[in-house]
């Protein structure tokens, strides 16, 4: 009886939490379940996996490049006294230089001689990833205009909270 009551409370709390985060849950469901199944039925499973993996590689490499850029910007804008030219300048620039060919290869953009065009449907990976990132930038712009405090609060995600009553 007590176990059933605990289960009911947990389900109620879970439903409350789910409702609060419903847009994110729906997006994760679509990207994690619906999209792979739909692509698997449109093509074969190997092609569907290859397409999704290529899109994700493009996004991850782009994030890596943006993190390198943000390291440079952060240290030379906000922590200039702590900035080290090698650690916070040269090394991130080397990371960017190393990942630009990887990004172009993943997107199938033949800028260098060693990059081949991707066959269809993998050739859709670059435009799809670009569109996905563009939607994210537009969402950030809308959020910045409508609720700028919410955007600023993302900077607090990794801060440790002070203990209440700590002396």
Residue 10 is predicted with a pLDDT of 53
Mean pLDDT of 72-91: 91
**133 in Cβ contact with 116 (< 8 Å):** no
Which band of pLDDT confidence, cut at 50, 70 and 90, is reported for residue 31? confident
Residue 92 is predicted with a pLDDT of 96
**51 in Cβ contact with 39 (< 8 Å):** yes
Cα-to-chain-centroid distance, residue 61 = 10
Residue 6 is predicted with a pLDDT of 52
- DSSP per position, 99-130: HHHHHHHHHT---STTPPPPPTTGGGHHHHHH
Residue 68 is predicted with a pLDDT of 94
Q: What is the CA radius of gyration of the chain?
A: 22
Classify residue 45 by its DSSP letter: H
Domain ranges of the chain: 36-151
How far is the C-alpha of 166 from the C-alpha of 138, rounded, in Å? 42
């Amino acid at each position: 009886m007590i176990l059933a009551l605990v289960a009911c409370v947990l389900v109620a709390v879970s439903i409350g939490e789910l409702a609060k985060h419903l847009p994110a849950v729906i997006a994760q469901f679509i990207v994690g379940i619906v999209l792979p199944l739909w692509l698997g039925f449109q093509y074969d499973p190997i092609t569907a996996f290859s397409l999704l993996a290529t899109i994700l590689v493009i996004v991850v490499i782009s994030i890596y490049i943006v993190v390198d850029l943000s390291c440079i910007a952060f240290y030379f804008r906000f922590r200039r006294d702590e900035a080290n030219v090698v650690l916070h300048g040269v090394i991130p620039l080397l990371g960017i230089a190393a990942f630009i060919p990887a990004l172009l290869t993943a997107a199938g953009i033949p800028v260098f001689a060693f990059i081949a065009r991707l066959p269809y449907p993998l050739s859709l990976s670059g435009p799809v990833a670009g569109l996905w990132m563009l939607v994210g930038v537009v969402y950030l712009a809308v959020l910045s205009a409508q609720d700028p405090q919410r955007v600023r609060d993302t900077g607090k995600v990794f801060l440790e909270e002070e203990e209440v009553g700590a002396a």
